[in-house]
A and B are shown apart, each in its own frame.
Chain A
Amino acid sequence: MSDNKHIIENRLKRAVEEATPDVLSNVLKQIETEQVVLTAKTAAAPVTDYIVDESSEQITALPAQRPRSWVWFKAIVPVAAALMIALSFWLSLNYSTQAVVAFDVNPSIELSINRSEKILKVNPRNSEADAVIGDMVLKGIDLDVAVNALVGSMVQKGYLSEINNSILITVSSEDQAKGEQMQNRLAGEIDSLLRSFSLDGAILSQVSTEYDYYAELAEQYGISPGKAALIEQLVQADPTITYDDASLLSINDLNILIEARRHQLAKVDISGHSSTKAFIGIEHAKLIAFMNVGYSGAEVKDLKTDYGYVDGKLYYKIDFQINDLFFKYEIDAGTGDILKVESERELPSVTTYDDEDKAQKTTIASTATDTTAATTAKTTAKTTEVTAAATTAKTTDTTRHTPSPSPSPSPSPSTTLSPKATARQYIGAREAENIAFRHAGVNRSEVRDLDTEFERDDGKSYYEVEFEVGDTEYEYEIDAISGKILDYDIDD
């Protein structure tokens, strides 16, 4: 495409050059006329005669005014010139930038290197990059050593972790072949490095021959040129994604989108898989949606799931049909909060009746393909029943929910439950982790091997949060509704 692009552009330029008419003489005539008119009107200073080239007279007079040169000066000129050439050659080898290598996670760091792959300049593009670099002096050292140090620091400071394992490497070089060589080598080195930290990394790598172009784009969106190049590929592959939205997402989130939508980006090599461990998982999100409606997965038809994004955060999009009702749910991928609900008809209200005859019962089968969903919904169905009244109204209902940071109380069996109240039953995996971290007195950035799972046992929903800090292993069970710590174990 790049070659074709230049060929097309050059052809167009030549064609317009060829077609451009010569209007200069007309322009000059009109200017002359205008000047005569102006002179007559104002009787101002005489108009400059543009035919007389005064500047050329000045130039020809210059040599006569120059002072005489000394003889010795003439003698050293060739020597000085030779020295200058040698010096500029040496400078070009050692001090001119041959490539810019950029690393994006969320910290975004650019390293300018010379032909010998020594660092000429370090450019931290955000405050996280400053934190990663810290006191390190990278100027003058080998690229490989710097990469080792920077990636190590990113892992140590928690920017690269099990929940955020994607890193983008961009080699900007005018020499495509050399750039590709470096791209492959660095991708391999970083992969090995991450493995040495027991991390399964996802490595995206690319070569860019148009640094200035992407730098311009990057400036507009407050991102790095490397990320801009990645986003441009993604936007071209998926027109539903815009620069504005994509620039707010982390590299890991962009990678999640690329994987989920199975995009093939021609200029980006991807190895490994992006981590979704910070998310509640699509199965859990489906469960939340089904429970919110009051059905199990058994009656669900045309189930479609995808990721959406808003304000730099991913959410699950879950579309499905039950009987004649069409539902569209947006569920926060991190917390499980319902962000938005749309139904083609009015959402069913979930009510508990004392007298079974007053309500039209809905049977919930337990043979759903989604076992977790079916089991949970069946339990719920013991205390709630779904009215069919909603199926009569032919209106679209859209509800945008504002997630609440505090856990909502468990619904009382005797109250009418709105979809909103049911949706907030679960605090979400991330909040459960935060509760565990607070109790343990640790920061998320210190945590390793974090593993959070949603569990149900005897009708009780809880999150099992396991992680390690230093040599200590922690294990928590957090009530999925109240956020209360049900049990914990600390093993030194």
Chain B
Amino acid sequence: MQEIENHISELANGDISAMERLYARTKTAVYGMALSILRNSHDAEDVMQDTYLRVYEGSPNYQAKGKPMAWILRITRNLSLDIVRSKPAKELPLETEWLPDDGSDFSESSLDKLVLQVVISQLDEQERQIVMLHSIERLKHREIAEILEIPLGTALSKYHRSLTKLRKLLEERSK
């Protein structure tokens, strides 16, 4: 996390090249967070772009507290929720383009996509966010609870429930 904090500090000091390093280090988590809320790649991409602009703008005011990832992901979450609030549900279609075309492709990459598809289509919004943050960024449950503003117990139980659900769904689909 110190590394991310350094990049933000460099950005605040006008070192724009730090954005490349920050982006490389955080892009998957930011995109995963946006995708878990918006469930389609187009909106998630927009949010991703806006997130880094907000990070750049906010970097001079960022106070290092050892939780830079939480700060960035909160920005992503708020921007995503703004889009959810601004659009009726029907305009936020569930995207399934990352699905393997049929059940015949069992390459590693297709199986990975299948997991993502099941996460996006079968878990509720909070479950998606918890599973994404834990899987991608390996954030601690306490940090996830802080970002999502939920009790730790809820984060833990939802995480375990989600993983159990995913395991069952994936087993069913592989039959």
CB of B74 within 8 Å of the partner chain: no
CB of A24 within 8 Å of the partner chain: yes
Q: Are B27 and A20 in contact (CB under 8 A)?
A: yes
Please give, as numbers and ranges, the residues of chain B lying within 8 Å of A4 by CB-CB distance. 163, 167
CB of B70 within 8 Å of the partner chain: no
CB-CB nearest in chain B for A28: B19
Query: Given contacts A31-B16, A217-B156, is CB(A23)–CB(B52) below 8 Å?
Result: yes
Q: Are B41 and A19 in contact (CB under 8 A)?
A: yes
- Give bound CA distance, A19 to B136, whole Å: 13
CB of A50 within 8 Å of the partner chain: yes
Chain B nearest CB: distance from A36 CB in Å? Answer: 12
Looking at chain A's contact residues, the main secondary structure is: helix
CB-CB nearest in chain B for A19: B98
Chain A nearest CB: distance from B70 CB in Å? Answer: 15
Looking at chain B's contact residues, the main secondary structure is: helix
CB of A81 within 8 Å of the partner chain: no
CB-CB nearest in chain B for A16: B32
Q: Are A21 and B41 in contact (CB under 8 A)?
A: yes
Q: Are B14 and A48 in contact (CB under 8 A)?
A: yes
Size of the B side of the interface (Cβ < 8 Å), in residues, is 47
Partner of A24, one of B14, B19, B111, B152: B19
Please give, as numbers and ranges, the residues of chain A lying within 8 Å of B49 by CB-CB distance. 23, 26-27, 30
Q: Are B115 and A12 in contact (CB under 8 A)?
A: yes
Q: Are A16 and B153 in contact (CB under 8 A)?
A: no
Q: Are A16 and B45 in contact (CB under 8 A)?
A: no
CB-CB nearest in chain A for B136: A13
Q: Are B31 and A20 in contact (CB under 8 A)?
A: yes
CB-CB nearest in chain A for B14: A48
CB of A64 within 8 Å of the partner chain: no
Q: Are A5 and B116 in contact (CB under 8 A)?
A: no
Please give, as numbers and ranges, the residues of chain A lying within 8 Å of B131 by CB-CB distance. 9, 12
CB of A8 within 8 Å of the partner chain: yes
Please give, as numbers and ranges, the residues of chain A lying within 8 Å of B132 by CB-CB distance. 12, 16
Chain A nearest CB: distance from B64 CB in Å? Answer: 20
CB-CB nearest in chain B for A6: B135
Q: Are A236 and B170 in contact (CB under 8 A)?
A: no
Query: Given contacts A8-B170, A20-B31, is CB(A216)–CB(B142) below 8 Å?
Result: yes
Q: Are A31 and B56 in contact (CB under 8 A)?
A: yes
Q: Are A16 and B53 in contact (CB under 8 A)?
A: no
Partner of A5, one of B19, B20, B32, B163: B163
CB of A232 within 8 Å of the partner chain: yes
CB of A136 within 8 Å of the partner chain: no
Interchain residue pairs with CB less than 8 A apart (7): A9-B135, A12-B112, A16-B132, A20-B48, A220-B153, A235-B157, A243-B157
Interface residues of A (CB under 8 A from B): 1, 4-5, 8-21, 23-24, 26-28, 30-32, 34-35, 47-48, 50-51, 53, 212-213, 216-217, 219-221, 232, 235-236, 242-244
Interface residues of B (CB under 8 A from A): 14-17, 19-20, 23, 27-28, 31-32, 35, 41, 45, 48-49, 52-53, 56-57, 98, 109, 111-116, 119, 131-132, 134-136, 140-142, 152-153, 156-157, 160, 163-164, 166-167, 170
Known: A16-B135, A28-B16, A244-B153. 14 other contacts (CB 8 A): A8-B163, A9-B134, A16-B31, A16-B116, A16-B132, A18-B113, A19-B98, A24-B20, A24-B23, A28-B19, A31-B53, A48-B15, A216-B141, A235-B157
Q: Which 7 A-B pairs have the closest CB atoms?
A: A50-B16, A15-B116, A9-B135, A15-B112, A11-B115, A48-B14, A20-B31
